[in-house]
Structure 1
Amino acid sequence: MIEFAQGLIEFTQGLIEFAQAFVEFAQAFVEFAQAFVEFAQAFVEFAQGLIDTKL
């Protein structure tokens, strides 16, 4: 029974470490997504500027 409890504790700790790593990954992904949105907005402005100069 004690071995089972120890295994459960180790499993839970592993799960917590995984969750923390996942949160870090999610935060990095959000930062990437925000940078991508900024890039896309700048690209749209650039494209509109090109269109305006051609017209």
Structure 2
Amino acid sequence: MALLALVRPIDLAIFGSLGGLWIFGATFIFVLYRWIFRFEKEQREAEARGELQ
């Protein structure tokens, strides 16, 4: 319990913010890559069907 007394609120705010940014960034990149791969897959399938020139 003494260890928690040594942690300052500003430290929690800084590391909490950095953790939140890291999680948001990782989620954003994951969703972006899924969207890109889905878009490219649809493009390849459309080309295979001859719908695109």
When the two structures are superposed, what TM-score results if normalisation uses the length of structure 1? Answer: 0.66
Structure of greater relative contact order (alpha carbons < 8 Å, 6+ residues apart): 2
Cα RMSD of the aligned pairs, angstroms, is 1.9
Please identify which structure carries the higher helix content. 1
Matches within 5 A, 1:12-23: 12-23=18-29
- Structure 1 spans left out of the alignment, 5+ residues: 47-55
Percent identity over the alignment? Answer: 14
- Structure 2 spans left out of the alignment, 5+ residues: 1-7
> Number of residues paired by the alignment?
45
The structure with more radius of gyration: 1
When the two structures are superposed, what TM-score results if normalisation uses the length of structure 2? Answer: 0.68
